[in-house]
Amino acid sequence: MSVTATDARDAHATGVERLLQSYRALPATATVRLAKPTSNLFRARDKTHTAGLDTSGLTGVIAVDPVARTADVAGMCTYEDLVEATLAFGLAPLVVPQLKTITLGGAVTGLGIESTSFRNGLPHESVLELDILTGSGELLTASPAENADLYRAFPNSYGTLGYAVRLRIELESVQPFVSLRHVRFDSIADLVATMQRIIATREFDGTTVDYLDGVIFSTNESYLCLGTQTATPGPVSDYTGQRIFYRSIQHASGVTHDRLTTSDYLWRWDPDWFWCSAAFGAQHPLVRRLWPRRYRRSSSYAALMKLERRFDIGNRLESLKGRPPLERVVQDVEVPMDRSADFLEWFLRAVPISPVWLCPLALRDDTGWPLYPIRPRESYVNVGFWSAVPVGSSEGATNRLIERTVGQFDGHKSLYSDSYYSRDEFNDLYGGETYRDAKKRYDPDSRLLDLYQKAVQRR
């Protein structure tokens, strides 16, 4: 073991001890929460004066094993830091969510997705084992063979059963570059049919497809973005400066080509938060030239959005223009592949939001994950839409409409944003009895919030 690896393990052990000490220092009746400077959740949270658990020593990569192709990672380590460490060995996590500040522990307990999900599933499926600080204060290792009920119930529990302290994950080999093809479609049905063929064959026009996602701008303008790993050197594009990645996708017809380093490909959406940087003027050519490059990233926009919400700036501006206030519609949903074209056609008619992100996925695991019960080995399409619409006749009218319609299409909705389900609906959709059993076992005194409280009631 190298000195560096030994130091990292010692630092992690010290961080775990600080975490445990901060847990023990809380009053027995206090609600337990993490002390986190950032969050990728987009639902309102109650203010609390309870001190958070000390996670300061749990933010790094503990070790990378290039032979076994695994990494031991602290729960609060960001994917930005994780990817930097693994790419040094020509390796990457099997799924790398799109935003740099997403943590590995957050992606596992709250789900995550990206353009490898059509072949690699979701981030929690590449977890071989993890150490969890449970609500009862125990530090337990969970794996398919040890505390298997906790291992299965942890994904989509959003920190209501415990917090990931260490995770051992699988890695895969990657090449230095990604060759891209952007394929335009004039109909949603044709795009979905092509997506299905790619998933079945793992190729398009005779070339392997390693990465697959897409963007819909309208019913008659949509794209699949196909990535292929390559070691061939050559010119690469840069979308961290004046150029904007999602705009580079658009073209009149057929197929266009591009190349990125693997690192820039994995973070291609981060400099503009997909397309949401436009809300802050960051896509205006003059503003963009003045905007420091180091702040052209998702974490900066998230901080600005937090300020906007705090002072209700958006609705104040709408009022000055004589327009109604806005309802925020920030959601990711999963719809079965064979019903996705109909869902997308409905969405584009009913909800005034575009562009829309598409990301196909299929679970790797035949057992399934009870708190997010999409069917194993069946292909789904993740549909991501992040914007605002004029308020309706009731609170959350558009979000409620989307929830109902997703259910009608046998889909599921991620819980990182606003939700409006009744408790019975929620239990039917998100694990019900399995969750209750895990909660009783691993958080018997309810030191952590209940999942329904956290995902729905805290608005």
Helix (H, G, I), strand (E, B) or coil at 351: coil
Could you tell me what percent of the chain has a pLDDT over 90? 83
b/e code 345-373 from CB counts within 10 Å (16+ = b): eebbeebebbbbbbbbbbbeeeeebbbbb
Name the nearest CA neighbour of 154 among 446, 359, 434. 434
Average pLDDT of span 108-125: 96
Average confidence (pLDDT) over 158-174? 97
Q: Is the pLDDT at 213 greater than 50, yes or no?
A: yes
CB 370 within 8 Å of CB 434? yes
Q: Is the pLDDT of residue 45 over 70?
A: no
Q: Which amino acid is at 425?
A: E
**Rounded mean pLDDT, 394-411:** 96
Q: Which domains does the chain have, with CATH numbers?
A: 3-174+446-457 (3.30.465.10)
Return the pLDDT at 31.
82
With bands split at pLDDT 50, 70 and 90, how would you rate the model's confidence at 458?
low
Which segment of 5-14, 136-145, 273-282, 290-299 scores lowest on mean pLDDT? 5-14
The yes-or-no verdict on residue 2 having pLDDT over 50 is no
Beta bridge partners of 145: none
Helix (H, G, I), strand (E, B) or coil at 316: helix
pLDDT in tens, 276-295: 999 999 999 999 999 999 99
- The letter for the amino acid at 98 is Q
The pLDDT of residue 436 is above 50: yes
Q: What's the N-to-C CA distance of the chain in angstroms?
A: 48
Q: Which residues neighbour 200 within 8 Å (Cβ) at sequence distance 6 or greater?
A: none
**Largest distance between two CA atoms of the chain:** 66
Among all chains, which residue has been given the structure tokens 């701008």? 217
pLDDT of residue 39: 58
Task: State the pLDDT confidence band at 52, using cuts at 50, 70 and 90.
Answer: confident
Reported as a pLDDT band with limits 50, 70 and 90, residue 7 is confident
Query: What confidence score (pLDDT) does residue 3 get?
Result: 43
Q: Which residues contact 1 (CB under 8 A, 6 or more apart)?
A: none
What is the average pLDDT across 55-68? 95
Cβ neighbours around 128 below 10 Å, total: 14
Torsion sign, CA atoms 105, 95, 268, 275? negative
Cβ atoms 151, 128 nearer than 8 A: no
What pTM did the predictor assign?
0.94
- Cβ distance 19 to 59 under 8 Å? no
Angstrom distance (rounded) from CA 291 to CA 400: 37
* CA-angle at 131, arms to 128 and 133, nearest 5°: 150
Q: Residue 268 — pLDDT band, cuts 50, 70, 90?
A: very high
Judge whether residue 190 has pLDDT over 70: yes
Q: Which residue has the tokens 């109604």?
A: 324
Say how many C-beta atoms besides its own lie within 10 A of residue 148's C-beta.
Answer: 12
* 459 pLDDT more than 70: no
**pLDDT, tens only, 334-392:** 999 999 999 999 999 999 999 999 999 999 988 889 999 999 989 999 999 999 999 98
Q: What is residue 336's predicted lDDT score, i.e. its pLDDT?
A: 98
Average pLDDT value over all residues in the chain? 93
Q: What is the mean pLDDT of residues 393-411?
A: 95
SS3 60: coil
Q: Report the alpha-carbon distance of residue 228 to residue 53 in Å, rounded.
A: 42
DSSP for 84-130, written as a single string = HHHHTTTEEES---SSTT-BHHHHHHH----TTHHHH--GGGGEEEE
